[in-house]
Amino acid sequence: MKISVMAKTNISHIAIIGCGASAVLILESLRDTAFSIKKKLSITIFERDEKMARGMAYRSGSDRLILNTLPETMSVSERQPDDFVKWLRSRGIVGKEGIPRKIYGDYLEEKLSSCIAALQRDGHKVTVYNTSVEAVTINEKHSVIFAGQKMTFDVCILATGGELREPENIALSGAQKILSIFDEEPIANIKKGSKVAILGSGQSAIDACILMESFGIEGYYTLVSRRGILPRVKSERADHCMQLSEMIAEKKARRDLGNDSNLLIVFYVQIMPDDLVMQLHRF
Ligand SMILES: Cc1cc2nc3c(=O)[nH]c(=O)nc-3n(C[C@H](O)[C@H](O)[C@H](O)COP(=O)(O)OP(=O)(O)OC[C@H]3O[C@@H](n4cnc5c(N)ncnc54)[C@H](O)[C@@H]3O)c2cc1C
Asked if 134 contacts 145 with a C-beta cutoff of 8 angstroms, the reply is yes
Strand partners, 158: 17
Tell me which residue has its CA closest to atom 14 in ligand 1. Answer: 57
**Beta-ladder partners of 138:** 142
Is the CB of 159 inside a 6 Å radius of any atom of ligand 1?
yes
CA separation for the pair 31, 124 (Å, rounded): 10
Ligand 1 neighbourhood includes 128 CB (under 6 angstroms)? no
CA distance to 19, 36, 40, 112, 164, per residue, from 123 (Å) = 21, 11, 6, 17, 38
27 lines ligand 1 (CB under 6 A): no
Q: CA-CA distances (angstroms) from residue 222 to 158, 167, 197, 198, 276?
A: 36, 17, 5, 6, 10
CB of 222 shorter than 6 A to ligand 1: no
Band (pLDDT 50/70/90 cuts) for residue 261 is very low
At residue 69, what are phi and psi to the nearest 5 degrees? -135, 160
pTM score, whole prediction = 0.82
Q: Give CATH superfamily name and number for 3-158.
A: FAD/NAD(P)-binding domain (3.50.50.60)
User: Can you give the C-alpha Rg of the chain in angstroms?
Assistant: 22
Please tell me the distance between residue 56's alpha carbon and the centre of ligand 1 in angstroms: 5
* pLDDT at res. 2: 58
Closest Cα partner for 56 from 135, 150, 165? Answer: 165
Interval 169-209: pLDDT, tens = 888 887 788 888 888 888 898 888 888 888 888 888 888 88
Atom of ligand 1 nearest to the CA of 55: 29
pLDDT in tens, 23-66: 999 999 999 887 777 788 999 999 999 999 999 999 998 888 99
Residue nearest to atom 53 of ligand 1 (CA): 57
Q: Check pocket membership of 55 for ligand 1, CB cut-off 6 A.
A: yes
Is residue 68 lining ligand 1, measured as CB closer than 6 Å?
yes
User: What residue segments make up the domains of the chain, in order of their start?
Assistant: 3-158, 177-282
* Residue 178: partners with Cβ closer than 8 Å, 6 or more residues away: 166, 167, 170, 172, 265, 266, 267, 268
Question: Distance between CA 7 and CA 137 in Å, rounded?
Answer: 25
Contact between residue 261 and residue 171 where contact means Cβ atoms under 8 Å apart = no
pLDDT of residue 95: 76
Total Cβ atoms within 10 A of residue 118: 18
Distance CA 234, CA 264 (A): 32
pLDDT tens for each residue of 134-163: 999 988 889 999 999 999 999 999 999 988
d(CA 255, ligand 1 centre) in Å = 38
Instruction: Please choose, from the candidates 215, 236, 230, the residue with its C-alpha nearest in 3D space to the C-alpha of residue 280.
Output: 230
How far apart, in whole angstroms, are the C-alpha atoms of residue 171 and residue 177?
A: 10
Q: Pick from 31-45, 77-91, 255-269 the range whose average pLDDT is largest.
A: 77-91
Q: Is the pLDDT of residue 238 over 70?
A: no
Q: Which long-range contacts (CB under 8 A, 24 or more apart) does 212-215 make?
A: 212/187, 212/282, 213/64, 213/243, 213/247, 213/282, 214/62, 214/63, 214/64, 215/187, 215/188, 215/190
Cα 218 to averaged position of ligand 1 atoms, centre (Å): 30
